Amino acid sequence: MNALMIKALAFAAILMIATVWVVMSLNIDIVGDSVNAITMAGALAIAVITAAVSVKYINQMKTDTASGELADETWDGIGEYKNELPSGWAYSFLAVFLWSMWYGMFGYPLNTYSQIGEYNEEVLAYNAKFEEIHKNPDEATLIEMGESIFLVQCAPCHGNTGDGLSGKAHDFTTLGHFTKEQVLDVIKNGSNQLGYAMGIMPPGMASGAQAEEIAIYVAGGMKGEQPASFASCSSCHGADGKGMNGMSPNLVVYDQELVHHVLEHGKKGILGEMPSFKDRLTPVQEKAVTAYVQSLSN
């Protein structure tokens, strides 16, 4: 091998090593995912074949001399040799042509291959792989699982830290799970969107100073002394505000029930509108985000 060839192949090798290094440093599995593996093999083929073949011919500029029988004609002084086809090129053409026939008949048969069929298989394989983990995850696993789901699905609105991007969506990091304004808004306007067994909450359950004190109490996480006026709420939300076992929303913590209702129906309030996530999360994933959301306010 001569110097030019070594340089070209070294360049190809550096490029590949850099690529693999970057990808691995992001915790991506190259060998386990066949698509990733084939892509890396393809990248390697591009780098090596181009380097090797082009340098092979460039080297001939150094070592070979032009020869052959010239055609009679010239155009503006340009002549043409009647040389035969380079055999490597000709055989490769033939081989690739045969391969393409194979590809269309057996690799991805033109009349039977279906990408949706392949998708269905991918989903089955996925389910088989993760079923075990998803059966009985413990709390710590759930929180960890929930975090990555939250960062992908919820963070665009609720922010990476769950703080609701300064009032643009619900803030999960505070003690109580509502702000005073949110509670006041619901007291004033009622609520009719979450689909609880108890049905709707009518508007105007309290007003004036009473509404004010209730709101402060609820927004404070229902700590301290309960104002007497809260009685107008306890009939539905329970004296402890925890929603009477899922009959109405829990006002204290983000329980599974609440998160489920919000994900199922979405929620429109004074901060804005949250879309419904119906069918976008599996039951395990729902459990996991709940656990994570709960962990945020602790």
Partner 1 sequence: MQSNAALEYDYSLAKKFTFLTILFGILGMLVGTLIAAQMAFPELNYLLGEYGTFSRLRPIHTNTVIFGFTVSGIFATWFYLGQRVLKVSIAESKFLMVIGNIQFWLYFVGALAATISLLFGVSSSKEYAQYEWPFDIVVVIVWVLWGVGMMGLIGIRREKALYISVWYYLACFLGIAMLYLFNNMAIPTYFATEGLGSILNSVSMYSGTNDALVQWWYGHNAVAFGFTVPIVGMIYYFLPKESGQAIYSYKLSLLSFWGLMFVYLWAGSHHLLWSTVPDWMQTMGSAFSIVLILPSWGSAINMLLTMKGEWNQLTDNPLIKFMVLASTFYMLSTIEGPIQAIRSVNAIAHFTDWIPGHVHDGTLGWVTFMIMAAIFHMAPRMFKREIYSRKLMEAQFWLQTTAVVLYFTSMWIAGITQGMMWRAVDEYGNLMYSFIDTVTVLHPYYAIRALSGVMYFIGFLMFAWNIYKTMTAGKELTQEPQFRTPMA
Partner 2 sequence: MFFHWLEKNPFFFAAAISIVISFAGLIEIVPNFAKAGKPLVDLKPRTVLELAGKHVYMKDNCQSCHSQMIRPFKSETDRYGDYSLSGEYAYDRPFLWGSKRTGPDLHRVGNYRTTDWHENHMMDPPAIVPGSIMPAYKHQFTNIADIETAYAEAVTVKNAFHTPYGPEFQRTRAAWDAHRPKVLADAKLIADDMRNKDVKEAVANGEVPEIVALIAYMNSLK
How far is residue 89's CA from residue 65's CA, in Å, rounded to a whole number?
20
Q: Which is nearer to partner 2, 167 or 199 (CB)?
A: 167
**Min CB(131)–ligand HEC separation in Å:** 22
Q: Are 183 and 212 in contact (CB under 8 A)?
A: no
Q: Which is nearer to ligand HEC, 12 or 230 (CB)?
A: 230
The DSSP H or E segment spanning 115 is helix 115-135
Q: Which is nearer to ligand HEC, 123 or 231 (CB)?
A: 231
Residue 2 partner contact from partner 1, partner 2, ligand HEC, none using kind-dependent CB cut-offs of 5 to 8 Å: none
Residue 108 partner contact from partner 1, ligand HEC, partner 2, none using kind-dependent CB cut-offs of 5 to 8 Å: partner 1
Binding status of residue 40 toward partner 2 by CB under 8 A: no
Q: Which is nearer to partner 2, 33 or 139 (CB)?
A: 33
What residues contact 56, with CB distance under 8 A and at least 6 apart?
A: 5
What residues contact 287, with CB distance under 8 A and at least 6 apart?
A: 137, 142, 146, 256
Q: Which residues in 231-263 are b (16+ Cβ under 10 Å) and which e?
A: eebeebbbeebbbbebebbbbbbbbebbbbbbb
Site residues (vs ligand HEC, CB under 6 A): 153-154, 156-158, 169-170, 177-178, 182-183, 186-187, 191-196, 198-201, 205-206, 214, 218, 232-233, 235-237, 248-249, 251, 254, 258-259, 262, 267, 269-275, 277, 289, 293
